Chains A and B, each alone.
Chain A
Amino acid sequence: MNKKYNRTVKIQVLIASMAFALSSLFQTTNAYADEYVISDNGAGSSSEIQATNSQNTNVTQNNDAQVSNDVDVNADTGNNQANDNSGNTGISTGDVNSTTTIDNSLNTSVVSNDCCLQPDGTAAINGNGDYSQNTISITSRFGSDTSITNTATITNHIYGQANTGRNTANDNSGNVSIKTGNITVTDTIRNTANTANVHLSQNTNGDYTLSISDNDTDSENTINLSLNNQSNVSVNNTADILSEIFWDANTGNNQANDNRGNVDIQTGDIVFNTTIENNANHATVDLDCCDPQKQEEKPPTVILPPPVLPVSEPTTGGGNGGGDGKSDGKSDGKGGSVLGSTLPTTGNNWLFLALLGNIMMFFFGMFLRLRSGRFPPFALAI
């Protein structure tokens, strides 16, 4: 009657909600240099150039993944019966080893762009006549808006039942021996959710060469140059993780009744190894500057969401019967400890107080007996 039960369950979930934006966010609009020139206009002339070069790139990634894992484990090597035998009787049940692993990996966003320098430009007002009015206005704006939203909902349940006990040996004429096997449970749940990696190379305007020269007297010459660079990154990660493990393990509840010989019952151990790891909501934003000489420019605004703590339910494991119950749950948190200043207290004043109370009660009872008018012989003797 010796059976062994080994079970290994492994679940791997890799949600394909990965979004990659590896292409360049910024495109080069001009492959050649911009050149703005007002030149050789006559006296009293009025010339104006207004140029706007604006480029904004929006990237939006939304990932929403929901995973639910339910694992049921049922192992039984017990429930054996050996009754009414004439000789010696022995029941030995096998061990139960159960290993369950659940790996979940959800929602990975990657946004990346290559460095793309904008070409240099030229603005010049040259050789214009008396009393001429010449104006060049250049506005150049490069920007990007990156928005990533990852939402993950993970639910894991492991329900297990393991039994090596509940054996019966009754009414045997010889010796009876019942030995139940060990139960070893190893459950591992790993949840990885919501990873956002953003790598942006900050595109900047090229160098501009500005020139006002050789214009006649009383001419008014103006060059306005406005250059802007801005990148906004927003990452919102939300993870809702619930991991629960329920076990009912038993190595005991054995019966040996009405046997004529000796009875020996040995129950096996119950060992739990439980690991729940949650790794959720990681955002990495990396900004490079394409031209090291322009690092003094104002850095772009980076918006990061507040971290969302993963939710993990405590492990519940239980064992009954005559075996040892052991639970090995791993967690990152550490509880505080308080060092005492006295040796352990291993006595109790209640024994002394109970003695005192009983003696007082006894004498008070005697007192009432005497007051009642009847004097029992033993009371008189006192």
Chain B
Amino acid sequence: MKKTLPPRSLLQKITYYVGNALILLSLFGLLFTFYPIIQLYLFPPQAQTFIIQTLEEPYIQIDKINALAPIIEQVDPWNEAVYQKALKNGVAHAKGSSLPGQKGTVFLFAHSSGSPWELTRYNTVFFRLSELEKGDTIIIGRQKKRYTYSVTEKKEVWPTEVSYLKELEQNQLIVQTCVPIGTSLKRLLIFASPK
């Protein structure tokens, strides 16, 4: 004997459709939010194409984590409005620190995560920076020259430890982003020395 379901009330119909809509919306929201991260793994930027397009523009390339982005030079690291604007277009070079090829510390910083609605390809450029280990290679291109650095140390520090950005005498590269991913709680610093 076939069992029939009792007819649904109007309220049940409404909750049925609203529930469906919320489930779909949440799935779409998750996809939208994490698409830049998915893209990092599935569709990493292609070095050859990029270098051709930005022939004389300084850039940073870390093959291990598929990071490839232009460098915006001389960005004030103490003015958030200024550097947030620069970070939409690439990796920021801290004003006051040295440039590749010069003596002293080169200080670069970029997003590990950004606002989902900021549709820029550079708001997750250092998402995988924590995967770098000692001996990994970082390449910086500037004025048709390539500067190669080897990772020597990795540190997580508090945001108030600004000495890393003020004491710039040592001949090295420091790359900074925020950790844990999706927060601005601490800073991850990658130290590298020229090869």
Contact = CB atoms under 8 A, between A and B. Distances in A.
B185 interface: yes
A343 B161 contact: yes
A347 interface: yes
A369 B16 contact: yes
B165 A346 contact: no
A372 B9 CA distance: 9
B182 A347 contact: yes
A358 interface: yes
Given A338-B78, A341-B162, A342-B159, A351 B33 contact: yes
B47 interface: no
Contacts, number: 152
B31 to A, nearest CB: 9
Interface stretch (B61-69, B109-117, B139-147): B109-117
B113 A372 contact: no
Contact of B162 (A340, A362, A372, A373): A340
B191 interface: no
A163 to B, nearest CB: 20
A358 B18 contact: no
Interface in A341-373: 341-352, 354-355, 357-359, 361-362, 364-373
B118 to A, nearest CB: 9
B128 to A, nearest CB: 14
A362 B23 contact: yes
B27 interface: yes
Contact of A347 (B8, B22, B92, B178): B178
A355 B181 contact: no
A381 interface: no
B19 A346 contact: no
A373 B20 CA distance: 13
A347 B33 contact: no
Contacts of B22: 361-362, 364-365, 368
Contact of B26 (A269, A362, A371, A372): A362
B102 interface: no
B183 interface: yes
A339 interface: yes
B26 A344 contact: no
Contacts of B19: 364-372
Given A342-B159, A355-B33, A366-B19, A348 B25 contact: no
Interface string A1-27: 000000000000000000000000000
Interface in B1-29: 5, 8, 12-13, 15-16, 18-27, 29
Most chain A beta-carbon contacts within 10 A, residue among B20, B21, B23, B179: B23
B177 A355 contact: no
Sorting the interface of chain B by its residue count into under 10, 10 to 19, 20 to 34 or 35 or more gives: 35 or more
B50 interface: no
B78 A348 contact: no
A264 interface: yes
A340 B159 CA distance: 11
Given A339-B78, A354-B33, A348 B114 contact: yes
Given A345-B159, A347-B179, A368 B16 contact: yes
Interface in B54-95: 55-57, 76-80, 83-84, 87, 92, 94
Nearest to A265: B53
Interface size, A (range): 35 or more
Interface in B97-149: 109-116, 123, 126
Nearest to B78: A340
A346 B176 contact: yes
B130 to A, nearest CB: 12
A29 to B, nearest CB: 70
B164 to A, nearest CB: 7
A347 B92 CA distance: 14
A120 B128 CA distance: 97
B59 to A, nearest CB: 14
Nearest to B18: A368
Interface in B147-195: 157, 159-162, 164-165, 176-179, 181-185, 187
B114 A351 contact: yes
A262 B164 CA distance: 45
Contacts of B84: 345
B29 A357 contact: yes
A344 B107 CA distance: 11
Contacts of A339: 78
B159 A359 contact: no
Contacts of B15: 368-369, 371-372
B187 A343 contact: yes
A373 B19 CA distance: 12
A30 to B, nearest CB: 73
A80 interface: no
Contacts of A365: 18-26
A351 B181 contact: yes
B38 interface: no
Interface of B: 5, 8, 12-13, 15-16, 18-27, 29-30, 33-34, 52, 55-57, 76-80, 83-84, 87, 92, 94, 109-116, 123, 126, 157, 159-162, 164-165, 176-179, 181-185, 187
7 contacts: A269-B56, A337-B76, A340-B79, A343-B162, A346-B177, A371-B19, A372-B8
